[in-house]
A and B are shown apart, each in its own frame.
Chain A
Amino acid sequence: MKNKSAISRRDFFKAGTIIVGGIAVTTALTPVDGLLFATERPAGKGKWYGIGIDIDKCIGCGKCANACKKENNVPQEPFYFRSWVEQYTIKNDGTIIVESPNGGIDGFKQSVPSEEIFKSFFVPKMCNHCAKSPCVQVCPVGATFETAEGIVLVDENYCIGCRYCVQACPYGCRYIHPVKKTVDKCTLCFHRLEKGLQPACFEICPTEARIFGDLNDPGSKLNYFLKNHTCMVIKPHLNTGSKLFYNALSPEVR
C-alpha cells in the first residue's frame, strides 16, 4: 500500500497525544460553570433589584397595566404591553382558559359560569429582569444590556430593530414600538428609581400584591416576602435567572 501522507506514524501519534492530552488537561483545570439560579447573587455589594408578585392578593383590576402605559407612553393599542394581567381559569374537566382582554386594563368579565370553574386566579406579568437574560445574549449590536443593579435596559438610539430579542424572550415581554421602530420593554421605571420613587405599577397596586426591592439587602421588603412565602419563577427549567418571584404560582402558568 502506498503511503500518501508525508507524516510518519510515530509523528502522528505524538501530535495526537499532545492535542488530546492538552484538551483533557485544560478541561480538567477549568472549573465547570454551575447553573446560576435566580436566588444566587452577583459578587457586587450595590443594589440588585428583584420583584415579588403575590398571586393570592391580585384582584385583577389591571391598574398596574394601565399605570405602566401612562407612565411610559406605551402605545394604547391592545397588543403593546410592558406589563399586563392574565386570568387563568381551570375548569372542572381540566381545560385551561387564559384571558387577557386589553391586558386587563378595562377589567375582567368572567367568561365561564361559576359552577364549571375548578379554580381561577389572576397572574400579573412583566419583564423578569433575568440575571442571564436570553434577550441580552442574542442582541447583535449590544443595544440591550443589564445594569449593575440587575435591570435589563434597551438603548433606543442604538437598537437596529432586528427583533431577535423579541423572539428570544421566553416571557413575551418585548415588542417593537410602532413609531420608534425599535424594541421597547419594561425598564422597572428606571427614571423613577433614580428619584427615589417606586416603579409606577408597584406604586399603584391597590392590594400591595406587587413587592419590589433590593435582593442584596437582607432587611428589604422583598427578602421578607421571599422568606415568608413559597415563591417560584416562571419557566425555571430555562435557567434564565429570572428575578420575578411569584407566590402561589400554579404549574398551569406559562
Chain B
Amino acid sequence: MPQQVKRLISAFAVFIVLFLIMRQVLTPSSFGELGHFRAKAIQENMVRELRYAGSVNCSKCHEDIRANKAQGPHAQLKCEVCHGPGMKHALYAGQFTNGQLPDSLVLYKPGERKDCAICHQLNAARIKIQFDTINHTMIHQIDAMKHNLADTDTNIEFKCIECHNPHQP
C-alpha cells in the first residue's frame, strides 16, 4: 500500500472517531427515542400553566347563576366567554369566605356597550347565522352605536345591561 494512502486512511480514522465523540456529546439525551426529536420535549409541552378553568368548575360554586342562565338564550355560553380566564379564581377564591377577594382574583365584569357589541354588533357576516341548531334562532343583531344610545332628557349614555340582564337577556 502506498504511503499516501496509509496517511489518508489514518487521517480519516481520526476524523471519524472525533465525529463520533462529538456526536455523542452534542446529541441531547432523549433525542431519537420516538423520532427525529427530543422525546422529553413532549413532557415539557405538557407542563404549562392553565388559565381557563372550564364552566364545570364555575358551577361548583355559582350553580344558581348557571341554572338561571340555562333558561335563557345565553344557555350555551360558557362563563369565561364574557368573564375571562378564571383558573386562579376557581382555585383560590374559596379561601376568602368573607367576600373580600384580592384584586388579582376578581374576574372581569363586562358592562360596556363594546363588550356586548363584540357578538351583537350589526354585521353582514352575522345576519344569516343560525347559532342554535335546535330552535333555529338567529343571533340578535343591533347597531350598538345607535340603539337607545342615550336618555333624551339627561343625555346620559345607557349601558346595555341597564335594560338587559346578560344572564337572562
Bound Cα distance from A147 to B33, whole angstroms: 12
Q: Is A87 an interface residue (CB 8 A)?
A: yes
Q: Whose C-beta in chain A lies nearest to the C-beta of B41?
A: A155
Contact assessment for B51 and A70 in the assembled complex, using a CB-CB cutoff below 8 Å: yes
A147 vs B125: C-alpha distance when bound (angstroms): 37
Known contacts A142-B36, A195-B50, A204-B52; is A153 also within 8 Å of B80 by CB? no
Name the residue on B nearest A87 (C-beta). B125
Distance from B22 Cβ to chain A, minimum over Cβ atoms (Å): 15
Q: Which residue of A lies closest to B141 (CB)?
A: A59
Chain B at the A interface: mostly helix, strand, loop or mixed? loop
Which residues of chain A from 40 to 83 have any CB-CB distance to chain B below 8 Å in the complex? 56-63, 67, 70-72
B118 close to A191 (CB less than 8 A): no
Verify if A26 is at the interface (C-beta below 8 Å from B): no
B81 touches A56 (CB 8 A): no
Q: Which of A29-37, A115-123, A164-172, A232-240 contacts B (4 or more CB under 8 A)?
A: A115-123
Q: How many angstroms from the CA of A110 to the CA of B127 in the assembled complex?
A: 12
Residue of A nearest to B85 (CB): A70
A residues 146-197 in Cβ contact with B at 8 Å: 146-148, 153-158, 187, 190-192, 194-195, 197
Inter-chain contacts of B162 with A (CB < 8 A):
none
Task: State the Cβ distance, B130 to closest chain A Cβ, in Å.
Answer: 7
CB-based contact A191/B38 at 8 Å: no
When chains A and B are docked, how far (Å) is the Cα of A135 from the Cα of B158?
50
A153 and B42 in contact (CB under 8 A), knowing A87-B125, A121-B125, A145-B37? yes
Cβ of A106 to closest chain B Cβ, rounded Å: 8
Contact A61 B36 (CB under 8 A): no
Q: Identify which of A71, A143, A200, A208 contacts B37 (C-beta below 8 A).
A: A143
Partner of B38, one of A117, A122, A155, A198: A155
The range of chain B's interface size is 35 or more
Interface check A223, CB cutoff 8 A: no
Query: What residue in chain A is nearest B126 (Cβ atoms)?
Result: A59
- B-side contacts of A247, CB under 8 Å: none
Bitwise interface map of A from 79 to 119 toward B, beta carbon under 8 Å scored 1, else 0: 00000000101000000000000000011111010100100
**Bound Cα distance A245, B76 (Å):** 23
Instruction: Kindly list chain B residues whose C-beta atoms are within 8 Å of the C-beta of A156.
Output: 41, 44
In the complex, what distance in Å separates the CA atom of A190 from the CA atom of B46?
A: 6
Residues of A within 8 A of B51 (CB): 70-71, 200
Are B118 and A107 in contact, CB atoms less than 8 angstroms apart? yes
Q: How far is the CB of A25 from chain B (nearest CB, A)?
A: 31
**Chain B 90-133 per-residue mask, 1 if CB under 8 angstroms from chain A, else 0:** 00000000000000000000000010011101111110011100
Q: How far is the CA of A79 from the CA of B139 in the complex (A)?
A: 29
Q: Footprint of A on B, CB under 8 Å?
A: 28, 31, 34-38, 41-42, 44-52, 54, 76-78, 80-81, 84-85, 114, 117-119, 121-126, 129-131, 139
Could you list some 23 contacts between A and B, CB below 8 A?
A57-B129, A60-B123, A67-B52, A67-B85, A70-B52, A71-B52, A121-B125, A142-B37, A153-B42, A153-B45, A155-B37, A158-B38, A190-B46, A191-B48, A191-B50, A192-B50, A192-B52, A200-B51, A204-B80, A206-B77, A206-B131, A207-B76, A208-B76
- 17 new A-B contacts, CB < 8 A, other than A87-B125, A190-B45, A194-B46, are A58-B129, A59-B131, A60-B125, A70-B51, A72-B48, A107-B118, A114-B124, A145-B41, A153-B42, A154-B45, A156-B41, A156-B44, A157-B38, A187-B45, A192-B50, A204-B80, A207-B131
